[in-house]
């Protein structure tokens, strides 16, 4: 069992450099032993993926091939049901992989967390690293509902003082890149050298994705 596990979920449709930078940043900032990238199978709130699960998984595995301490977990792809973060975290907790679990997400996702299935349960399963995005801050109504004032840690030691339920805001992380914009660039035949690893771009071309 490791001490600190980071869980970073998403569609990864496709995985881009921003995803990998976020995983690296979280790992270093919080001294995580491992960051697991977890591709979603059937989303609850978003539309279906543009690329099939097998291709998104293959691209993720290619993207992290040379990374240390970043792995891919296909736990949600192995289920045929809707992917709920609360259910995924319960399963990870049951596997006793780590003493401490940190859920990594963007501030835009955190600002919709009260719409998630069984969202209150999440705060007893993990803590949250919220990655900043230009022009966005915590939604006041969401902050009140999740009792952010008591959960928000001002330092890393404070963040780890409790096993679950804490929130740390990484305001100096600001890579504003999305899979939506990458897909649009691919469709328009624009240069994506700064957005995708070469292996991912070649895979997309070979499989005629997007």
Per the model's pLDDT, the better-predicted residue between 175 and 92 turns out to be 92
Whether the pLDDT of residue 129 is over 80: the answer is yes
Lowest mean pLDDT among 46-55, 116-125, 138-147: 46-55
pLDDT tens per residue across span 152-170: 999 999 999 999 999 999 9
The residues pairing with 168 across neighbouring beta strands, listed in sequence order, are: 129
Average pLDDT over residues 83-91: 95
User: What local confidence, expressed as pLDDT, does residue 193 receive?
Assistant: 85
User: What local confidence, expressed as pLDDT, does residue 205 receive?
Assistant: 93
- Let me know if 5 is exposed, middle or buried by CB neighbors in 10 A (0-12, 13-18, 19+): buried
CA-based nearest residue to 7, from 66, 85, 59, 119: 85
CA-based nearest residue to 166, from 177, 174, 155: 155
Instruction: Write out the two tokens for 5.
Output: 């596990």
CB 27 within 8 A of CB 170: no
58 confidence band (pLDDT: 50, 70, 90): very high
User: What local confidence, expressed as pLDDT, does residue 172 receive?
Assistant: 84
Residue matched to tokens 């097998």: 54
Whether the pLDDT of residue 80 is over 90: the answer is no
Average pLDDT over residues 25-41: 97
Whether the pLDDT of residue 136 is over 80: the answer is yes
pLDDT tens per residue across span 197-206: 999 999 999 9
User: What local confidence, expressed as pLDDT, does residue 24 receive?
Assistant: 97
Average pLDDT over residues 17-26: 96
* R_g of the chain computed on alpha carbons: 17
């Amino acid at each position: 069992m490791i001490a600190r596990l980071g869980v970073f979920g998403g569609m990864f449709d496709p995985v881009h450099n921003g995803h990998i930078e976020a995983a690296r940043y979280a790992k270093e900032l919080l001294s995580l032993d491992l960051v697991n990238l977890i591709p979603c199978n059937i989303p609850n709130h978003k539309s279906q993926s543009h690329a099939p699960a097998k291709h998104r998984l293959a691209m993720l595995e290619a993207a992290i091939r040379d990374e240390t301490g970043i792995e891919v977990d296909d736990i949600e792809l192995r289920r045929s049901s809707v992917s709920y973060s609360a259910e995924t975290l319960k399963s990870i907790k049951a596997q006793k992989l780590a003493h401490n679990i940190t859920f990594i997400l963007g501030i835009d996702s955190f600002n919709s967390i009260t719409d998630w299935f069984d969202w209150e349960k999440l705060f007893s399963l993990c803590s949250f690293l919220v990655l900043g995005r230009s022009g966005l801050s915590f939604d006041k109504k969401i902050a009140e509902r999740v009792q952010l004032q008591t959960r928000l840690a001002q330092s890393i030691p404070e963040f780890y003082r409790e096993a679950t339920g804490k929130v740390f805001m990484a305001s100096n992380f600001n890579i504003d890149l999305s899979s939506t914009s990458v897909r649009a660039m691919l469709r328009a035949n624009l240069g994506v050298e700064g957005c995708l690893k070469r292996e991912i771009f070649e895979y997309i071309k070979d499989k005629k994705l997007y």
